[in-house]
Amino acid sequence: MVKVRLKYSKNGPIKFIGHLDVMRYFQKAIRRADLDIKYSEGYSPHQLMSFAQPLNVGATSDAEYVDMTFESITTVDDIQNRLNATMNEGIKILDAAVLGDNDGKAMTIVAAAKYKVTFRDSAKPTFDWQSELREYLSGEHLMATKKTKSGEKEIDMKPLIFDYDIKDEALYILISAGSVNNLKASLIIDNFMKSKGIEMDTIIGLQLHKMETYCAGEDSKGSYIVPLISHSESDKIYVTFPE
């Protein structure tokens, strides 16, 4: 039994495929590629596969992750090549790595994500949003109402933003993600626009592009985040996690 983590991109028209359908898509791709995936026990066995984080319909990504459990593998390169040979170009396996016994599930270890956020043409602000946004983000507290399962909650977004940059008509932002302190990039823009007195439908108005998904770690230099598949020490980004 071998656990393998795959990194894949989701681009072009494929961005309109919802998360459940992406899962179904992978199940079929694995069969087409004839990979020796492990199945669950029971009367209707399913492939052992676990996705890191669902991506919104309409968002693109260069850093989606899925863990798969195989009965046997040749090499991770072989898995990558065989899948890519049978997949739609919109979803492409970019990297693959064998997981150790102690590695957590992709789904549970996500701690941060980096996004590129742009306005779709129909929603482009008529004012100099880049300077205004820079000023907004420099505030000491960035209060927002977050919808949760149990209702609404007032949160401060500021400590959940690790880093950002605004250039070339885009916001590049590294934010807390995962099951504990998940911040949506769209929530930031939503509140920024509200601060300008503008209500916008962020699902339709914003194009989100996920650039990387990170998990958390700690070493002698402090706490850091690192891509879910990392081949180099230099991938580590040292951050301060919120309380």
Partner 1 sequence: MNEKLALSDEILLSVDKPERYIGNEVNSVTKDKNKVDIRFAMCFPDVYEIGMSHLGIQILYGLFNSYDDVWCERVYSPWVDLDKVMREKNIPLFALESQEPVKNFDFLGFTIQYEMCYTNILQVLDLSGIPLKSCDRTWDDPIVIGGGPCTYNAEPMAEFFDLFYIGEGETRYRELFDLYKESKKNGDSREQFLRKCAKVPGIYVPSLYEIKYNDDWTIASINPMYEDVPQLVVKEMVTDLSDAFYPTKPVVPFIKATQDRVVLEVMRGCIRGCRFCQAGMLYRPLREKDVEVLEKYAVQLLENTGYEEISLSSLSSSDYSGLPELIDFLIDYCRKKKINISLPSLRIDAFSLDVMSKVQDIKKSSLTFAPEAGSQRMRDVINKGLTEEVILKGAHDAFEGGWNRVKLYFMLGLPGETDEDIEGIGDIANKIAKEYFDTVPKENRHGRTVDIVASTSFFVPKPFTPFQWAPMASKEDFLEKANTTRRGIMAQLNQKHIKYNWHETDASVMEGILARGDRRIADVILKAYKKGCIYDAWSEHFHYDVWMETFAECGIEPTFYTTRERSKDEIFPWDMLNCGVTKQFLYREWETAMSGKVSPNCRQQCMGCGARSYNVGVCMEEKTGRN
Q: Which residues bind partner 1 (CB under 8 A)?
A: 12-14, 16-18, 21, 24-25, 27-32, 34, 39, 43-45, 57-58, 86-90, 120, 122, 203-204, 207
Q: How far is the CB of 163 from partner 1 (least distance, A)?
A: 27
Would you say 14 or 76 has its CB closer to partner 1?
14
Would you say 2 or 17 has its CB closer to partner 1?
17
Would you say 18 or 139 has its CB closer to partner 1?
18
Would you say 180 or 204 has its CB closer to partner 1?
204
Q: How far is the CB of 214 from partner 1 (least distance, A)?
A: 27
Would you say 57 or 180 has its CB closer to partner 1?
57
Q: How far is the CB of 85 from partner 1 (least distance, A)?
A: 12
DSSP for the chain, please give it.
-EEEEEEEEE-GGGGGS-HHHHHHHHHHHHHHTT--B-B-SSSS--B-EEES-PPPTT-EEEEEEEEEEES--S-HHHHHHHHHHHS-TTEEEEEEEEPPTTPPPHHHHEEEEEEEEEE-GGG--SS-HHHHHHHHHTSS--EEEEEETTEEEEEE-GGGEEEEEEETTEEEEEEE-SSSS---HHHHHHHHHHHTT----HHHHEEEEEEEEEEEEEETTEEEEEESS---GGG-EE-----
Would you say 55 or 215 has its CB closer to partner 1?
55
Q: How far is the CB of 151 from partner 1 (least distance, A)?
A: 26
Q: How far is the CB of 48 from partner 1 (least distance, A)?
A: 12
Q: How far is the CB of 11 from partner 1 (least distance, A)?
A: 9
